[in-house]
Amino acid sequence: MDTEMMLSADMKVLMNHIYEFKKGVRQMVLYTFNKRYESSVKARLDRQNIPYLTQPVGETCLNLFFGRQECLNAIQLIVTKPLNKLTPEEDFILGAMLGYDIRVQCERYCERKCRLCRQA
């Protein structure tokens, strides 16, 4: 493990996400990080037998989904494009799966859906 990785605030966030997942606080996590840490991140998850998926975000970042295999199976069916291209329904499901506040997800869904209705 290189020193830069050990000192990175981003890597500390990852370690907290892993801790919460292992304690059962989260069933699935979405973590966005710089590609330069990709091999270290994947190695850590592999060592802990945590399943994951990655998705490119622009030139320098990756989205990392990790958690229960059932959740990742659903993610593979739902998240087939960049997150900012998800439909309001797909975005709602993803937020719910990530454990976001369901009331806030409902508000977000209604706002996005109404915005789309006005554009049509």
pLDDT, greater one: 15 or 7: 15
CATH classification number, 1-80, choose in 3.30.160.250, 3.40.190.10, 3.30.2190.10, 2.40.10.10:
3.30.2190.10
Per-position DSSP letters for 88-101, written without gaps between them: HHHHHHHHHHTT--
Q: Where are the domains of the chain?
A: 1-80, 86-120
What does the longest C-alpha to C-alpha distance in the chain come to? 52
CA 89, distance to chain mean position in Å, is 17
Amino acid at 63: N
In a 3-state reduction of DSSP, which class is residue 34? strand
26-75: per-residue pLDDT in tens? Answer: 999 999 999 999 999 999 999 999 999 999 999 999 999 999 999 999 99
91-104: per-residue pLDDT in tens? Answer: 999 999 999 999 99
Residues across the chain: 120
pTM to 2 decimal places: 0.86
Contact 33, 56 (CB under 8 A): no
Q: Residue 5, class by beta-carbon neighbours within 10 Å (0-12 exposed, 13-18 middle, 19+ buried)?
A: middle
Instruction: Report the distance separating Cα 76 and Cα 50, nearest Å.
Output: 16
**Residues 6 or more apart whose Cβ sits within 8 Å of residue 103:** none
